[in-house]
């Protein structure tokens, strides 16, 4: 519900989805759910939001999964063309990856490796490693932004992986990520789990055109990068620097 140019992030996201023809939209809420007010969407609440992480939150809405299923984090903004590119991709599992991430990270962090995650691709553009703590820039072929699509076999792979991990969790085991159990899994853990199971997780590359709001300075940057008069939404990360 943090506002950019007077409009909450979640409202920006819903308008972006509608701009590319998406009407079936579900918001999974948790903390201060009563403060979210967007018309014409479905709401599902994670009652255990205080003790669970992204994967558990996503699967609170499993009953409403459609094919294709697009999953978006709630703390990012992206241009409609990035979402349309994801929709048009024919990958069973497609993940938006920003190949021009480095200059953006340099504007956010003194040490770009502080918050970056590994993301390595094979020659075919499939992700082979994601979500780990990098030691060098060379381990990062692009930055995962938190926007992905599952369709056909990919949607089944997603649900099967979750169901399998749920069974393991109920036995007191963790298969996908040894460091975290199902309640604490990140989406990148689940994506890496799909890869480790032999499934193909494909990168859908973009060059900028998005922002993340993690810290107050991110909000300041986003206000500079976005001209609220632009329709459809444009995010020019060079705008603030005068490049």
For the stretch 213-230, pLDDT in tens is: 999 999 999 999 999 999
Which residues have a Cβ under 8 Å from the Cβ of 8 and sit 6 or more positions away? 1, 2
**What b-and-e string marks burial along 99-132, b requiring 16 or more CB atoms within 10 Å of the CB?**
bebeebbeebeeebeeebbbbbbeeeebbbbbbe
> May I ask the CATH class of domain 3-225?
alpha beta
Confidence check: pLDDT of 241 > 80:
no
Mean pLDDT, the chain, as a whole number?
95
pLDDT of res. 108: 95
pTM: 0.95
- Give the pLDDT mean for 130-137: 96
pLDDT of res. 240: 42
CB-facing half-sphere around the CA of 16: CA atoms within 13 A: 29
pLDDT of res. 243: 41
For the stretch 144-153, pLDDT in tens is: 999 999 999 9
pLDDT of res. 242: 39
**How would you classify the pairing of strands 7-8 and 93-98?**
unpaired
Instruction: Give the domain ranges of the chain.
Output: 3-225
CA-based R_g, the chain, Å: 18
Confidence check: pLDDT of 239 > 60:
no
- Split at pLDDT 50, 70, 90, the class of 237 is confident
């Amino acid at each position: 519900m943090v506002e950019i140019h007077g409009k909450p992030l979640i409202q920006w996201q819903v308008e972006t989805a509608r701009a590319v023809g998406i009407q079936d939209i579900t918001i999974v809420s948790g903390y201060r759910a009563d403060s979210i007010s967007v018309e014409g969407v479905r709401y599902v609440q994670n009652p255990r939001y205080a003790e669970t992480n992204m994967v558990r939150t996503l699967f609170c809405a499993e009953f409403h999964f459609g094919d294709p299923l697009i999953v978006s984090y709630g703390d990012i903004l992206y241009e409609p063309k990035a979402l349309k590119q994801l929709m048009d991709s024919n990958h069973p599992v497609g993940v938006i990856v920003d190949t021009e991430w480095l200059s953006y990270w340099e504007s956010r962090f003194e040490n770009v490796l502080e918050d970056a995650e590994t993301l390595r691709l094979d020659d075919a553009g499939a992700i082979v490693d994601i979500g780990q703590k990098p030691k060098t820039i060379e381990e990062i072929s692009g930055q995962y932004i938190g926007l992905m699509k599952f369709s056909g076999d990919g949607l089944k792979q997603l649900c099967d992986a979750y169901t399998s991990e749920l069974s393991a969790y109920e036995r007191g085991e963790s298969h996908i990520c040894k460091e975290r159990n199902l309640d604490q899994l990140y989406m990148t853990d689940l994506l890496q789990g799909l890869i480790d199971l032999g499934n193909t997780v494909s990168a859908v590359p973009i060059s900028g055109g998005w922002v993340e709001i993690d810290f107050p300075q991110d909000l300041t940057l986003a206000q500079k990068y976005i001209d609220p008069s632009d329709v459809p939404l444009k995010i020019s990360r060079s705008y603030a620097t005068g490049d």
